[in-house]
Amino acid sequence: MEAADKPPVIAFKGVTKIFGAGAAAVHALDGVDFAVGRGEFVAIMGPSGSGKSTAMNIIGCLDTPTTGEHFFMGFEVGRLDRWRRALLRRRFLGFVFQGFNLLPRTSAVENVELPLVYRGTPPAERRQLALAALEQVGLKGRERHTPAELSGGQQQRVAIARAIVTAPAVLLADEPTGNLDSRMSREIMDLLTRFNREQGITVIMITHEPDMAAYAGRTIRFVDGRIVDDADQSRAA
């Protein structure tokens, strides 16, 4: 439960997102309401076109609602201009993607340093932080390897290190195990769970795999732009 003086880290109030106009208009989100408390691990599920990716883009400040309100730690994000949304994204959010999104000719440690470069962190400090993040994900000794010299699971570990190197309040993971085998998927989910539990990072994850969603404490299901189920798995356990 959220303390009375602490708002949810994420809140949607009547959020709609419409693409196109007139007869061609698509309601990707249709009056969505939900909140995510600090330190939660939430899985978002739903079929293609259900609205889950649109919701994630809004949460990640990559898009804005057509109508309704999107709050981050009590502040209405819709009132921020593009520059301030980018600043919020850079300061408080970390991202992990299905396709890893690593620079191919760049070493693991340099990939992890990238968010710190954008923050203006001095070179010596960012190298120290990047090395520490790689050690946290079990890649000590692989710092100089390029993505081509790493397995898929190791590349996703680099991506997670890059996401957590800035100590984000929220980690957004979009199908983080989609390109991995079952063993590597479990290892990645164990990492996300550990960062959630030990560091208090709020994790919001899109997945189509029920066994991966089971790692979360709560599952939200989207269908046709609406939430059809919001289950607290931690209470059911």
Question: What is the C-alpha to C-alpha distance for residues 11 and 145, in angstroms, rounded to an integer?
Answer: 40
3-class SS of residue 220: strand
Segment 138-143 mean pLDDT: 95
User: What pLDDT score was predicted for residue 5?
Assistant: 63
Please give the class, per CATH, of domain 39-52+83-236. alpha beta
pLDDT of the residue at 53? 94
Give me the mean pLDDT over the 111-120 stretch: 94
Once rounded to an integer, what is the mean pLDDT over residues 211-229? 96
Question: Is it the case that residue 127 has pLDDT exceeding 60?
Answer: yes
The answer, yes or no, to whether residue 186 has pLDDT greater than 80, is yes
The pLDDT score that the predictor gives to residue 93 is 96
Enter the tokens of residue 198.
């030990």
What is the arithmetic mean of pLDDT over 157-162?
A: 96
Q: Is the pLDDT of residue 236 over 60?
A: no
Tokens, residue 71? 């709050």
C-alpha dihedral (97, 100, 105, 108), degrees to nearest 10: 100
Q: What is the mean pLDDT of residues 33-61?
A: 96
Percent of the chain with pLDDT over 70: 96
More confident residue, 24 or 162: 162
Among 29, 31, 34, CA closest to 12? 34
Q: Which residue has the tokens 């795999």?
A: 209
pLDDT confidence of residue 154: 95
Q: Is the pLDDT of residue 120 over 60?
A: yes
Looking at every residue in the chain, the average pLDDT score rounds to 93
- pLDDT > 90? residue 122: yes
